[in-house]
A and B are shown apart, each in its own frame.
Chain A
Amino acid sequence: MSLSEDGQLISQIRKGNILALEVLYEKYKGQVYRTALAITRDRVAAEDILQDCFLKVYTHVDKLDGSLPLSPWLYRVAVNLSYNWASASRRWLIPLEGVIDHLVAGTRTLPESTFERGEVQHVIQKAIASLSFEHRVVIVLFYLDGFSLNEIAYILDCPVGTVKSRLHYARQNLRRKLERDRHLSPEVVYEFS
């Protein structure tokens, strides 16, 4: 099997070529950083996770299979590091209650005004942040990174059924909050286009 671009870079890194690692870093830094940021909501933590990710690439380069894409492995490492960070800091104890209650009336799927965008984004972000770590990671990988359920199962090293279940309950949780908000304000009409 011919080596992919990542595979060629990995074989260069095995020979101690730091420039090859830099090329790999430039290629994936944005995705890994943004995923870690979406999970942790902490820029410093996300940068630490990004840094550790690429140090691990260098340390474990002999174990990497150059014929396979690198990104799922990178995401797996990033998620594990995020989990370690969350476990160490116990930052997932934010209560969900009351988070979405401030959702403004008349929101559309893609709010246009700056205020509206900021407010809705803030509300949804807080709602997502209030999910358990496992649910939040699945939400981020599915919606932000666009991974399939199978890919998420690989990244999280768990069965596809578990991923489905977590996604189902996470969405249900968010949906319930939004629906409750709608019932509290009957005049509110969601103009989802």
Chain B
Amino acid sequence: MSFPKTQLKMEEQPLDEIDQLIRWALLDAVASEEPSPQVWQDIKAGLMTRSRTMPSQSGAEHLRRQFASALKAWVLAVFAPLEVSWDPRLAARERSYLIWRENLSLLVMPMAVRMVY
């Protein structure tokens, strides 16, 4: 007896001896296998760990948002006197201080933004 040619359309043809042999071997190898009860215990432990880390993650997110909000307020506060610094009525020393502060803020801001995001 020779084996028939390999089926090209598996779903349209009945399974042959090779198919039966493969199926039997696979089923026979794992049919009686069951996972140990420890697996579910490990899953539960994993879930507990995740639920414990979740609040801290959301806490970290909350802190980050608060920091971003404070940074935004600080940037607005720093740039608010931008027009004032060019006011000719200001004393030279006062104007110089405001310009110096603005330049420093411009320098620090990219680093701060990078830290937050």
Contacts and interface: CB of A to CB of B under 8 A. Distances in A.
B65 to A, nearest CB: 22
Contacts of B2: 179
Contacts, number: 111
Interface residues of A, number: 46
B47 A143 contact: no
Interface in B1-53: 1-3, 6-11, 17-31, 33-36, 38-40, 42-44, 46-47, 50
Given A50-B39, A55-B47, A121 B30 contact: no
Contact of A121 (B25, B33, B44): B25
Nearest to B18: A175
B25 A124 contact: yes
A167 B13 CA distance: 14
B35 A46 contact: yes
A37 B33 contact: yes
Among A110, A143, A172, chain B packs the most CB atoms within 10 A around the CB of A143
Interface residues of B, number: 37
A144 B33 CA distance: 13
Contact of A37 (B10, B30, B43): B30
B23 A179 contact: no
A178 B43 CA distance: 42
A120 B1 CA distance: 19
A75 B65 CA distance: 39
Given A37-B33, A174-B18, A51 B39 contact: yes
Contact of A33 (B3, B7, B35): B35
A139 interface: yes
A81 interface: no
Contacts of A46: 35
B17 A109 contact: yes
Interface of A: 18, 21-22, 25, 29-30, 33-34, 37-38, 43, 46-47, 50-51, 54-55, 58-59, 109-110, 117, 120-121, 124-125, 128, 139-140, 142-144, 148-149, 164, 167-168, 171-172, 174-175, 178-179, 189-190, 192
Given A109-B20, A142-B10, A189-B1, 5 more contacts: A43-B33, A46-B35, A121-B25, A121-B29, A168-B6
The 5 closest A-B pairs by CB, nearest first: A124-B25, A192-B17, A34-B30, A144-B26, A143-B23
12 contacts: A29-B35, A33-B33, A34-B30, A47-B38, A121-B29, A124-B25, A125-B25, A149-B11, A164-B9, A175-B3, A178-B3, A179-B3
Interface of B: 1-3, 6-11, 17-31, 33-36, 38-40, 42-44, 46-47, 50
